[in-house]
Amino acid sequence: MIRDALKQLHRDLKSQKLRTFLTVFGIVWGTVAVTLLLAFGAGLKKQLIKQTAGLGDRICISWPGLTSIPYQGLGKGRRIRITDEDLEAVRPRIDGLKRMSSEYSDGWKLVYNLKTYPIDVSGVSPEFGEMRNLIPQPGGRFLNPLDMRDQRRVVFLGNKFAEDVFGKGTDPVGKVVLMNGSPFTVIGVLVPKEQDSSYNSRDSDLSWIPGTTFRSLTGRKYLSNFVFQPATALQSKQVTQSLREALSRRLKFDPEDKEAFSVWDTTEQFQFFEVFMLAFSAFLGIVGSLTLVVGGIGVSNIMNVVVEERTREIGIKMALGAKQGAVLKQFLVETLLVTGIGGAIGFAISLGICGVFPESLVEYVGRPELSPTVALITTGILGVIGVLAGYFPAREASRLDPVVAMKL
């Protein structure tokens, strides 16, 4: 029976080239439009996330400043200075705080191969790398707790700076450079990353050494700023508030004094981003649905015409003893096959388009990401529309007395 159905199908498709082509085209078009739309949407979303996360993964950056509100008899304009010891003291009291690192920044000189380069140096702790997404290229590493404990003279370099100093094909790891007159060993180079914001230089131009090393070489006691990360983005406000209160108590400033202790909460950006992406997804969803509706109308129109055209054929078959089920099954199998082929072609075309997508555009709109699930769902919906559009008229036709159907 299956073989007969397939044979029959093959004949029908061959004898009805135009309408088969139109049906397949409708499904191909719908599948291509929707899968590409969603692929570009997904790519753009990923690219935006990547760029935003370039600065760090849901982090808050805080700077001590001058007090702007008199507090407990102390005048305003007083400089608030924070030490590592202050951070360590308040740290256990902050609920929901996942990571925290101080940062000491300065502009130094780096000498390599008799050439001198200006370099922005940050003294940080190992946790800093995790928070700020500083990922080492293969063969290198970021700072570790031993570096901190032993005040090692090791440096992790931004990728662009490393390239400027060592040239393109050279691996700087293990090389020794002079920084502010002291020899430092390069332990790693940053993996290039997308970064749409920063608070001094881009990470590609920076370098990081252990905070303890920085302090012992410079005698600096007070940190430039510090970075912390709440366990979840939702906790950022609460963690920031706890930190503000704990530090204000310890360092004696008004907890409401935003200038004494300013915080840049990058999770706010993420929150905006979430809303934006939601709106963006909704937009894509609406456009995609409309495309599907239009494609579906096309497919169902064609199926309708097909059944009308073939009512006589249905009548003849029934006159020869075909049962209603057999007549309907043929329409179903046919629609399913046409849909399947159309969906596969559509997905292949989308794949092709994504394959030739120009690399130069990836930085701006991201790399389109095709989803086979979306293709399946799209094709499925179009298929269901086609089946419904073909099924009901075919059922009507097969319910007629054969003599009536044959005369139509």
Residue 353 carries which side chain, given as an amino acid letter?
I
Structure tokens belonging to residue 26: 């409708």
Nearer Cβ to other proteins, position 238 or 324? 324
Of 277 and 322, the one with the shorter C-beta distance to other proteins is 322
Find out whether 190 and 173 touch, Cβ atoms under 8 Å. Answer: no
Nearer to other proteins, 297 or 403 (CB): 403
Output the smallest distance, CB 327 to other proteins, in A: 10
Question: By C-beta, is 15 or 72 nearer to other proteins?
Answer: 15
Rounded to the nearest 10 degrees, the angle between the axes of helix 266-319 and helix 324-355 is: 140
Q: Min. distance of Cβ 36 from other proteins in angstroms?
A: 36
CB of 273 to other proteins, least distance (A): 58
Cα separation values, 68 from 41, 64, 74, 354, Å? 46, 12, 11, 55
Q: How far apart, in whole angstroms, are the C-alpha atoms of residue 150 and residue 173?
A: 20
- Rank residues 249 and 323 by Cβ distance to other proteins and give the closer one: 323
Site for other proteins, rule CB under 8 A = 1, 3-4, 11-12, 14-15, 313, 316-326, 399, 401-404, 406
Give yes or no for a contact between 314 and 397, defined as CB atoms under 8 angstroms apart.
yes
Report, in Å, the least distance between residue 316 CB and other proteins.
Answer: 5
Listed in sequence order, the DSSP H helices in 254-322 are 266-319
Residue 369 CB, shortest distance to other proteins, in Å, is 44
The one-character DSSP state at 95 is: T
The least CB distance from residue 400 to other proteins, in Å, is 10
Tokens 């990360």 sit at which residue?
229
How far is Cα 225 from Cα 262, in angstroms, rounded to an integer?
10
Residue closer to other proteins by CB (options 12, 164) is 12
- In this complex, which beta carbon is closest to other proteins, that of residue 12 or of residue 120? 12
> Please, what is the minimum distance in Å from the beta carbon of residue 310 to other proteins?
10
The structure tokens listed for 89 are 């003291």
- Report d(CA 41, CA 408) in Å as an integer: 49
Phi first, then psi, for residue 114 (nearest 5°) are 70, 10
**CA gap 153, 27 in Å, rounded:** 64
What is the Cα–Cα distance from 260 to 239, expressed in whole angstroms?
17
